[in-house]
């Protein structure tokens, strides 16, 4: 299964509709987040990462806000546990470094804390409810020696062994 990985710069006219459609499926349809909470006016100002399958369908996405907060991490349920979330996260961190950030933060759904902890994040506050879901504030210092966006894109897998079963 061939993958296509894109980094969409702020205000570049990139395919934000594909990012939004995947987030709608994950957050609104699957997790019952109100649509008015999931949709905000920040998308145009963010850097987005979008992974598509060989048919062009959006299967993983995330965004980096200008202030260095990562959010809206979403992976299509069929494609979870295949490393796509980590690819998105690593690229967003590299984008933060390229923008001069030394730290990034995020609000992790409690069910994803282990994923973020494995990526070097630490709890930085008390749990809170956002959009009806319990979240943990987390942050991490970025390693200035870590690979940049171009190196990560070059090293990212372009294929997965097979398409997951629906």
Please list the pLDDT of the chain residue by residue as tens digits (166 residues): 788 899 998 888 778 999 999 999 999 999 999 898 898 889 999 999 999 998 999 999 999 999 999 999 999 999 999 999 999 999 999 999 999 999 999 999 999 999 999 999 999 999 999 999 999 999 999 999 998 999 998 888 887 766 666 6
pTM above 0.75, yes or no: yes
Residue 130, in any domain of the structure: no
Residue 111, in any domain of the structure: no
**Per-residue confidence (pLDDT) for residue 14, from 0 to 100:** 79
* Residue 31 in tokens: 């997790």
**Per-residue confidence (pLDDT) for residue 13, from 0 to 100:** 77
Number of domains in the chain: 1
Label residues 29-59 b or e (16+ Cβ within 10 Å = b). Answer: eeeebeeeebeeeebeebbbbbbbbeeeebb
CATH code at position 13 = 3.40.630.30
Rounded-to-integer distance, Cα 80 and Cα 13, Å: 28
Residue 35, in any domain of the structure: yes
| Domain hosting residue 24, numbered range | 4-99+146-155
Q: By the 8 A CB rule, do 76 and 22 touch?
A: yes
């Amino acid at each position: 299964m061939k993958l296509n990985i894109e980094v969409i710069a702020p205000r570049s006219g990139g395919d934000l509709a594909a990012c939004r459609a995947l987030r709608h499926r994950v957050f609104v349809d699957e997790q019952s987040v109100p649509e008015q909470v999931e949709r905000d006016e920040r998308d145009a100002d963010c850097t987005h990462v979008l992974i598509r399958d060989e048919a062009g369908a959006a299967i993983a996405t995330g965004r980096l806000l200008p202030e260095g907060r990562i959010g809206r991490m979403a992976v299509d349920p069929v494609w979870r546990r295949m490393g796509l979330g980590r690819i998105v996260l690593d690229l967003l961190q590299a984008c933060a470094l390229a923008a001069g950030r030394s730290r990034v933060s995020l609000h992790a759904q409690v069910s994803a804390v282990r994923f973020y902890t494995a990526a070097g994040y630490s709890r930085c506050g008390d749990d809170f409810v956002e959009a009806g879901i319990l979240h943990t504030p987390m942050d991490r210092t970025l390693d200035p020696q870590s690979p940049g966006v171009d190196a990560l894109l070059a090293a990212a897998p372009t294929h997965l062994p097979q398409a997951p079963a629906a």
